[in-house]
Structure 1
Amino acid sequence: MHAYGVLEDIGLFDAGFFGYSPREAAEIDPQQRLLLECAVEALESAGVRADGSAHDIGVFAATGLSGYLLATHDGRAAADDNLSTLMGGDGHYAATRIAYKLGLTGPAMSVGSACSSSLLAIRTAAQAIAAGECDLALAGGMDIEFPQPISYLHQEGGIMARDGVCRPFDAAASGTVFGSGGGLVLLADAEVAEERGWPVRAVLMGSAVNNDGAEKASFTAPRSSRQADVIAQAMEVAEVDPARIGYVECHGTGTQLGDCSELSALMAAFGDAPLPRLGSAKANFGHLRVGAGVVGFIKACEVVARGVVPPLANLDQPMDALRAGDAPLPRTAGALDLPVHERFAGVNSFGFGGTNVAVVVRGHQDVRPVGVCPDGPHVLRVSAADPDSCLATAGTLAAVIRSGESPAVADIAHTLRQGRDDRAYRLATVGTSPGELAAGLEGVGEHTVEGWHKPGSETLLMMPGQGSDLLPTARALYGWETVFTSALDRLWTSARTIAPSLPDLSTALAPTAAYDAAADLALAHCLHTAVLLALTEQLTARGLRVDRLVGYSLGEYAAAAAADVISEEDALRLVLGRVGILRDAPAGAMIAVRLPSDAVAKLVPEDLATCAVTLGTGRSVMSLAAAALERVTSLLADAGVPHRVLEPALPYHSSLLAGAASAFAPIADAVPVRPGSARLVTTAAGRDSLGAGYWSAHLAGPPT
């Protein structure tokens, strides 16, 4: 009989995405390859990042007999080659392979009970989450025959259909038809899912598992009484009355013996309550053996999520075993006409050898308040293992955005930021409108960048000193970017608690506000520090992952707070205390010159100026007393050296401020330093941590 549920393109696999060479990939059974791809898709569909996750994610997986191993294994190969081939074909490594490749740290185990394996994997995963062994778990199974048969020989009395059609619960059913397939679902602790805002398709209310034992006709025969027990136990655990079950996704193989046994079990478990509408995905895909349970589970979850019961395929005349009061087998799609949280469905999966699994799921009512999507601009980030994949993904996303049926761009940006792992090749675009963002994803936007990410590289956030005017930035972002606005409000409230003489924030940021940064150091320095910290929060909210932080001059106070080495309040307190000391410091100047530090020392006598900062190759900053300014600028002009007198009227990072540094030391050393300062790159020469004397050395000594 020419019939089989063929799974197309089982040889296709993105080996490079998972870090496999073509040879390594060829040694892995297609069942395990597809489970790897299903794992990534399940996590991405849920918006859950695997990399850097704060949660332990488990893996519970089942696979069928590896015909691939039997067909490809070369018994004459060397022992080392044999090991990788055997591991690639052994289903015991399916779960641990996923955990290893995706960096998942919860329990990882292979599960097996023949045809009920993948539903057993789901139950086992749910039990592990309930026991606190993990917060989330991937669960399911895959069964792919290799090579996939396209026909079989029907034998009277066997389990294979006479006509090549799987007809669950049909009077003319003559047997089953096999197929290849399966899948994975992602389970999560309900509280964690709600807290993180992950999309929930259904709630697993209860499950049960048992075995037939020996009191049956043969090892592979069903035992209706034990099937009834497991169905009843699952409903009892779920605390659901049978009358409330609106649908059951049955094991339903299309064999007369198996289907009659399951109907009898359902009738016994439901008692006086009529049977609800029944279905079986095997009518659509064939019997997927190990992969059957998870497919039925997914179908039941979609039934309660969508409120629609699909028709039972291949149904002609229902079996006589059905009672008159039972719901008719669905011939057309019908509605579960109930509020989503009152929709209940059961799932049955029974295995050769007698392991029976039953599950009850319920629809999920999302009661979270609908948030207001922030106005743009938005940052859309796309990444993939290589440029072609990245650009193809970006193009697909652009088409969805242009279709007018996409989610809000703010939601897309959030999911891309929080729910996608970062891959090697990346593209990012900034825009306000959907059209602008779509154009950016297609590579024609004005604000789009793309390129390779170097594995193992770190992101260093550099915070500028007072020579950078941050007022225009603060005015542009305040009241527009909610994270920045909230952070700056909080920080400025803290600053005014420390120094009540500071003006309110609206006055400090007013477009007409003008103040002399040299004369009003408290306002200038405090606002500079607060804006830097608020900007860091905004960048973090936009998805920037900062590994290390460094600050230039005044910017180091904000960098220390952003690295959590000191508190935000202490950073502001240090800056304001420093200002109080600097008011009595000797006047001076700083000059930026286009000369390396050694050339500066040869041109300008040390008693006139010292090199305070080396900005880079051929660029330095000198500090000097106010009285030496005219003489030093004349020397530079006569030598034809480009230079610029900087705004600060103080000789920072030089011995001219030694007295101020000594006075600042008791104030600075009183600030508690938190442990774990590895994220902060210190700049005071000879100092690698914020210990006693650091900030005074930072003020009066040259940075590294």
Structure 2
Amino acid sequence: MPEEAVAVIGISCRLPQAPDPRAFWDLLRRGASGITAAPADRWDEGSTEGGHPAHGGFLDRIDTFDPAFFGIAPREAALMDPQQRLMLELAWECVEDAGVAPTALRGTRTGVFVGAIAADYATLLSQRGPDAITPHTVTGLNRGIIANRVSYSLGLHGPSLTVDAAQSSALVAVHMACESLRSGDSELAIVGGVNLILAPDSTLGLTRFGGLSPDGVSYTFDARANGYVRGEGGGAVVLKPLAAALADGDHVYCVIRGSAVNNDGATDGLTVPSPAAQEALLRRAYERAGVDPAEVQYVELHGTGTRVGDPIEAAALGAALGTARPAGSPLLVGSAKTNVGHLEGAAGIVGLLKAVLAVEHRELPASLNFETPNPDIDFDGLNLSVNTALGPWPEGTRRAGVSSFGMGGTNCHVVLEEAPVRESGPVVRVPAPWQLSARTEAALRGQARRLKQSVADRPGLEPADVAFSLASGRSLFEHRSVVVETGDRADTLAALAAIAEGRPHPDVVSGRADGGKLAFLFTGQGSQRVGMGRELYANHPEFAAAYDEVLAHFDPALRDIINTNPDNALHRTEHTQPALFALETALYRTLQ
């Protein structure tokens, strides 16, 4: 029987040349590469093999962090592995993307599952000797704390663990999160993976192991395959049972139908993959998902571009999925590692994000660096084809698989499907306030700047949708500004620009909130007007229901008096007072 489906409702990432999901999708669509020479400030030129700086996918900045935002003292933050800092930021961003205020999760059974295997920061600190050890060293360097720090910061009571299954860690974390949601241990799950390249020792070790491409290019499934290229960064998703996501009206990027995990067991060597184990994994994943392998149009490969690994992955994929498809309709495959490098412990979440975005946007980006097919892969016999150009998703229900394999033989595969089609209600175009908040004035200006750019880049945004997301999906902090949205796009952009520049604007109210309880003031006599509440009644069912309930307690003629004011009756006290009471009560219940 198929497993209970899980919805992906929030995403975030920080990847080479792609600081967020929109930028990542743009990078993929353009067929661009984020691979560069290592930043000059990472390590000395002579510290890597051959005296040359390593190539890879690197983040622009890894030393910037706002500890006060997360309630962390600067001294403790300095001893924290930057992977902890990055995961905190990714968790916050993906929860906001899910339309949930992060502070609203406090006390809930929200689980945190993170894939991470690197310990470069510990290597760097150990080189400073015993004097560098402080009371924060243990918590700062323990990999388990990468997940636990998120749970602590947000006050989450679900399972919290860092997964180390080598290079398959992040996708195994996704599998474990889905199982936790199905068992009820978690009601929501934040799942991610992080990987930072901080010390030359780790790159040197992988070079001598023989895993890295000497020319700094990933040739996945190509005849030139000679090793992988390292990448750093991270990504995160928010998962929720599909039934709950649909009931709550969440935006669903796509659906996880099922997944499976196994191990190669005894092979010709500890790091030599098993085609039989990989094939068994794939068959198990699609059996659990209740999906016919012939109906899968695309698989995001593990795809490291190694001489041994690529042919084995292709053989298993062809046996389980490719040959199940009609001849002449090959299974399309590709790898994000050709764009941003191999993020090792976080690689699985990168592959998942690429597949999620492709399903969401109904397009398949190109896999790079493929020119001559690997002669050890029988593409025709296995019915496989590397997707080498951006194109529309093939016809049919959009389904994809994502694979991730660890060097010690732990394999994971996840089955994705497009989100179910939902009936959309009428669009209500009512001007609504846009609220922004931050812990500092500088951060508030930064938020306004980013929101202005986002709105300018997306002309199709509905102002009411933006207002709703800002009000319900963002945590409130002390420094606040509200844009009184008038419906004029140019006015709104000008108001956001004023906040960003610290200038006053007639459509902006700014201030600082110092706590206190919420209070409602019902207006008194003199504020009545003919037809008051008419537009709200027509557009908001909650208002209409409450309005009708209150008016039912008064003279039936009151409704007509409010709407038409015969003989100036609305302005007589015996009508004014109940009319205003009905309006204000309905407004209050609508706000509730």
Question: TM-score of the superposition, structure 1-length normalised?
Answer: 0.69
Partner of 2:219 in structure 1? 167
Tell me: CA distance 1:174–1:402, structure 2 relative to 1, closer, same or farther (3 Å).
Answer: closer
SS of 1:256's partner is coil
Structure 2: unaligned runs, 5 residues or longer: 1-51, 499-503
Of residues 506, 519, 523, the one that matches 1:460 is 519
Partner of 2:159 in structure 1? 107
Partner of 2:483 in structure 1? 429
Of residues 354, 362, 370, the one that matches 1:315 is 370
Tell me: CA distance 1:254–1:532, structure 2 relative to 1, closer, same or farther (3 Å).
Answer: same
Instruction: Say if 2:111 is the partner of 1:72.
Output: no
Instruction: Say if 2:448 is the partner of 1:394.
Output: yes
Tell me: CA distance 1:368–1:491, structure 2 relative to 1, closer, same or farther (3 Å).
Answer: closer
Q: In the TM superposition, what is the alpha-carbon distance from 1:323 to its structure 2 partner? A: 3.2
- The whole-number CA distance in structure 1 between the counterparts of 2:72 and 2:588 is 37
- Paired positions, count: 526
Larger CA deviation: 302-311 vs 236-245? 302-311
Letter in 2 for 1:458: K
Query: Following superposition of structure 1 onto structure 2, how do residues 140-159 of structure 1 map, counting pairs within 5 Å?
Result: 140-147=192-199, 158-159=210-211
- Native 8 Å contact 1:375 1:432 kept in 2: no
Of residues 276, 288, 296, the one that matches 1:245 is 296
Tell me: CA distance 1:156–1:85, structure 2 relative to 1, closer, same or farther (3 Å).
Answer: closer
- Native 8 Å contact 1:507 1:513 kept in 2: no
| CA deviations over 1:113-162 (Å, ceiling 9, x no partner) | 11110000111111111222223211121111223679759979822223
- The whole-number CA distance in structure 1 between the counterparts of 2:320 and 2:547 is 66
Letter in 1 for 2:361: R
Query: Following superposition of structure 1 onto structure 2, how do residues 179-198 of structure 1 map, counting pairs within 5 Å?
Result: 179-198=231-250
SS of 1:461's partner is coil
- The whole-number CA distance in structure 2 between the counterparts of 1:43 and 1:66 is 26
Structure number with the bigger relative contact order (C-alpha 8 A, sep ≥ 6) is 2
| CA deviations over 1:603-650 (Å, ceiling 9, x no partner) | xxxxxxxxxxxxxxxxxxxxxxxxxxxxxxxxxxxxxxxxxxxxxxxx
Q: In the TM superposition, what is the alpha-carbon distance from 1:334 to its structure 2 partner? A: 2.8
Tell me: CA distance 1:476–1:33, structure 2 relative to 1, closer, same or farther (3 Å).
Answer: farther
- The whole-number CA distance in structure 2 between the counterparts of 1:85 and 1:334 is 49
Instruction: Say if 2:508 is the partner of 1:448.
Output: yes
| CA deviations over 1:349-401 (Å, ceiling 9, x no partner) | 1112211101110122432224322332x110111221112122223323444
Instruction: Say if 2:392 is the partner of 1:335.
Output: yes
Instruction: Say if 2:433 is the partner of 1:379.
Output: yes
Letter in 2 for 1:283: T
Q: In the TM superposition, what is the alpha-carbon distance from 1:250 to its structure 2 partner? A: 1.0
- Native 8 Å contact 1:380 1:437 kept in 2: no
SS of 1:449's partner is strand
- The whole-number CA distance in structure 2 between the counterparts of 1:270 and 1:491 is 56
- The whole-number CA distance in structure 2 between the counterparts of 1:450 and 1:370 is 34
Tell me: CA distance 1:429–1:122, structure 2 relative to 1, closer, same or farther (3 Å).
Answer: same
Instruction: Say if 2:345 is the partner of 1:290.
Output: yes
Partner of 2:315 in structure 1? 264
Partner of 2:116 in structure 1? 63
Tell me: CA distance 1:270–1:485, structure 2 relative to 1, closer, same or farther (3 Å).
Answer: closer
| CA deviations over 1:73-132 (Å, ceiling 9, x no partner) | 566359xx6342221111101112112212333322222211110000111111111222
Letter in 1 for 2:116: T
Query: Following superposition of structure 1 onto structure 2, how do residues 165-564 of structure 1 map, counting pairs within 5 Å?
Result: 165-213=217-265, 215-270=266-321, 272-274=323-325, 276-320=331-375, 321-325=377-381, 326-339=383-396, 342-376=397-431, 378-402=432-456, 405-433=459-487, 434-443=489-498, 444-454=504-514, 456-463=515-522, 468-472=525-529, 475=530, 477-482=532-537, 489-491=544-546, 493-495=548-550, 497-499=552-554, 501-512=555-566, 514=568, 520=574, 523-540=575-592
Question: Between Structure 1 and Structure 2, whose CA radius of gyration is higher?
Answer: 1
- The whole-number CA distance in structure 1 between the counterparts of 2:570 and 2:369 is 84
- Native 8 Å contact 1:166 1:314 kept in 2: yes
Tell me: CA distance 1:419–1:154, structure 2 relative to 1, closer, same or farther (3 Å).
Answer: closer
- The whole-number CA distance in structure 2 between the counterparts of 1:192 and 1:59 is 18
| CA deviations over 1:20-77 (Å, ceiling 9, x no partner) | 2322221111111111111111112222222224964221112223211231256635
Tell me: CA distance 1:476–1:57, structure 2 relative to 1, closer, same or farther (3 Å).
Answer: farther
SS of 1:114's partner is coil
- The whole-number CA distance in structure 2 between the counterparts of 1:519 and 1:345 is 67
SS of 2:239's partner is strand
Q: In the TM superposition, what is the alpha-carbon distance from 1:243 to its structure 2 partner? A: 1.5
Tell me: CA distance 1:412–1:237, structure 2 relative to 1, closer, same or farther (3 Å).
Answer: same
Partner of 1:603 in structure 2? none
Letter in 2 for 1:219: L
Letter in 1 for 2:393: L
- The whole-number CA distance in structure 2 between the counterparts of 1:404 and 1:511 is 44
- The whole-number CA distance in structure 2 between the counterparts of 1:253 and 1:12 is 30
Q: In the TM superposition, what is the alpha-carbon distance from 1:216 to its structure 2 partner? A: 0.8
- Native 8 Å contact 2:113 2:192 kept in 1: yes
Structure 1: unaligned runs, 5 residues or longer: 541-704
Tell me: CA distance 1:513–1:484, structure 2 relative to 1, closer, same or farther (3 Å).
Answer: farther
Tell me: CA distance 1:121–1:402, structure 2 relative to 1, closer, same or farther (3 Å).
Answer: closer
- The whole-number CA distance in structure 2 between the counterparts of 1:206 and 1:106 is 21
RMSD across aligned positions (CA): 2.8
- The whole-number CA distance in structure 2 between the counterparts of 1:489 and 1:310 is 47
Larger CA deviation: 479-488 vs 408-417? 479-488
Partner of 1:554 in structure 2? none
Tell me: CA distance 1:179–1:495, structure 2 relative to 1, closer, same or farther (3 Å).
Answer: closer
- The whole-number CA distance in structure 2 between the counterparts of 1:271 and 1:39 is 36
Q: In the TM superposition, what is the alpha-carbon distance from 1:284 to its structure 2 partner? A: 1.9
Letter in 1 for 2:310: D
Tell me: CA distance 1:531–1:53, structure 2 relative to 1, closer, same or farther (3 Å).
Answer: farther
- Native 8 Å contact 2:99 2:473 kept in 1: yes
- Native 8 Å contact 2:525 2:577 kept in 1: no
Larger CA deviation: 325-334 vs 186-195? 325-334
